[in-house]
Chain A
């Protein structure tokens, strides 16, 4: 409960949480907030700047940018959460096995993580999307796979240090099976870094997916996706910079929010790290 109190008094984390909740509400309530259809074209309003009827202006096809950003929040949040879910479901068990058993299992799993690291996340995601074809589902899979190696390393190193803890030795001495020790004792105690890193990874995943969209290799038009909007608006950068400015702000705020929240969770859950890497003040 002390952690909860620390978390609630962590101003940056609360700001992050506030931004995320705002995005969630806008994403869910988009059809009721906006009078526009995200894909309805109105060529008369093409690249119009912000006005009373189009708060954030209209894009090259006269679509309302504010509306598209709200619908885009659905896509970005969905990608962020599902990609990290994929990364955790595959990465956590692999990291546990590598850290707990060591030996050949560790050698094999760690090499796999090394290989994926050597690809670098953007190249891995780019190549996977190129192979699988561009679609929302494939972007989620590609970004999710690129989350895996970080999770493997994180969980592995966390388990390595837990393996020698007295309560794990005690459980072993009492005859608990490896499976039971891993699921009951080791897993629970490595939850903190996983939770912190999972939160930060949502932001990274949103950034990566938007980057794919920017390159034209992400979620395809006409679906409103922030990175795709930014990439398509790029050719109007000189005449109508609002086409790129507002999607840019949306991506930036979403990533900032998950970074603030992740940092706050770490400060609250792991007081030892607070003095070291906490926010100033």
Chain B
């Protein structure tokens, strides 16, 4: 276990370095941005004096190095600066919208995991049957589907033609259904492909045949012996997918008018509100990195053979 603990500490350290690197990258990228944030913040009718004062307040006249220094100091104190558009703290802007995005991503991950693993297991167990062909074809189409177009198609079918579900917004509890299903489609397809492949590899192994020969019921063999051993690559895909879902939420939220941080990002880019853009990218990156650490630890829990 000592090796495992050391491995986790090492992973955490590397993750911190990565997160620090991301903060430098995004900081540098946005300082090259054309357009003067002070002028945007001051408004159209501001005098040159006012613009100059705001620029000084924001520290935009300082060197890049000292600007990054104060940015990092703020960051460590949980201060991400101020939105140029609304003059609200960035943390507050993000905080208000983050639960909506997280809820969407979590629901989509649950749908994708349950549907994807089930479809993949069925396809692998009934290899080369009609069911397998159908599942594999649908999965292929699923990974090729642009999420925004799928969203529009679902709106046309379920909101316009059938009138079963709301097309946009977030007022109605049912309004999460279409965006979550849209967002889950790609991961469902990908997880089912990965599950099928991983299961096929495991189903041919000796211990599975032994379990079968011992007379274990098929369900036990598939779930206890095969799926458990096939689960490491599946878990990797699911965790990577959660990151991709956060990214995909940018498009899905725009299609469905879902009030999350993905849409906030697009709006902020349009308004050149770079403090918010920077904050959102950092939140995304932190979530993604944290997730990778968790998965790394889960590997050890799921597969006792893994020791570092």
Contact = CB atoms under 8 A, between A and B. Distances in A.
**Most interface-central of B141, B146, B156, B288 (chain A CB within 10 A):** B146
A216 B269 CA distance: 11
B250 to A, nearest CB: 6
A238 B160 contact: yes
Contact of A280 (B21, B132, B248): B132
A78 interface: no
Interface in B25-39: 25-26, 29-30, 32-34
B146 A127 contact: no
Contacts of B145: 252, 255
Contacts of A248: 146, 149, 152-153
Interface string A102-131: 000000000110110111111100111011
Nearest to B274: A130
A279 B136 CA distance: 7
A212 B57 CA distance: 34
Given A111-B21, A130-B33, A238-B160, A251 B146 contact: yes
B244 interface: yes
A256 interface: yes
Interface in A234-281: 234, 237-238, 241, 244, 247-248, 251-252, 255-256, 259-260, 263, 275-277, 279-281
A231 B251 CA distance: 11
Chain A, interface residues (CB within 8 Å), range: 35 or more
Contacts of B289: 118
B201 A276 contact: yes
Interface in B235-268: 243-244, 246-248, 250-251, 254-255, 265-266
B54 interface: no
B87 interface: no
B251 A280 contact: no
B14 interface: yes
B18 A114 contact: yes
Contacts of A117: 288
B284 A217 contact: no
Interface stretch (A84-92, A177-185, A203-211): A203-211
Nearest to B250: A122
B143 interface: yes
Nearest to B146: A251
A255 B33 CA distance: 32
**Most interface-central of B148, B193, B254, B277 (chain A CB within 10 A):** B148
Interface residues of B, number: 57
Contact of A115 (B22, B152, B197): B22
B45 interface: no
Q: Is the interface of B mostly helix, strand, loop or mixed?
A: helix
B285 interface: yes
B25 to A, nearest CB: 6
A7 interface: no
A280 B136 contact: yes
Contacts of A281: 128, 133
Contacts of B143: 259
A211 B127 contact: no
A275 B146 CA distance: 29
A204 to B, nearest CB: 10
A112 B22 CA distance: 9
A37 B194 CA distance: 45
Contacts of B140: 12, 256, 259-260, 263
Contact of A252 (B144, B155, B248, B250): B144
Contact of B149 (A120, A123, A230, A279): A230
A120 B244 contact: yes
A103 B158 CA distance: 55
B107 interface: no
**Most interface-central of A211, A227, A280 (chain B CB within 10 A):** A280
B52 interface: no
Contacts of B243: 120
Nearest to B286: A118
A214 B148 contact: yes
A123 B200 contact: no
A280 B288 contact: no
A131 B30 contact: yes
Contacts of A12: 140
Contacts of A279: 136
B285 A118 contact: yes
Interface of B: 14, 17-19, 21-22, 25-26, 29-30, 32-34, 123, 127-128, 132-133, 136, 140-141, 143-149, 152-153, 155-156, 160, 193, 197, 200-201, 243-244, 246-248, 250-251, 254-255, 265-266, 269-270, 272, 277, 281, 284-285, 288-289
20 contacts: A111-B18, A114-B14, A115-B18, A119-B284, A119-B285, A120-B243, A122-B247, A126-B269, A127-B269, A131-B29, A210-B146, A211-B146, A211-B148, A215-B250, A217-B266, A255-B144, A275-B200, A276-B197, A279-B136, A280-B123
A-B interface, 3 closest residue pairs, ranked by CB to CB distance from nearest? A248-B149, A120-B247, A256-B144
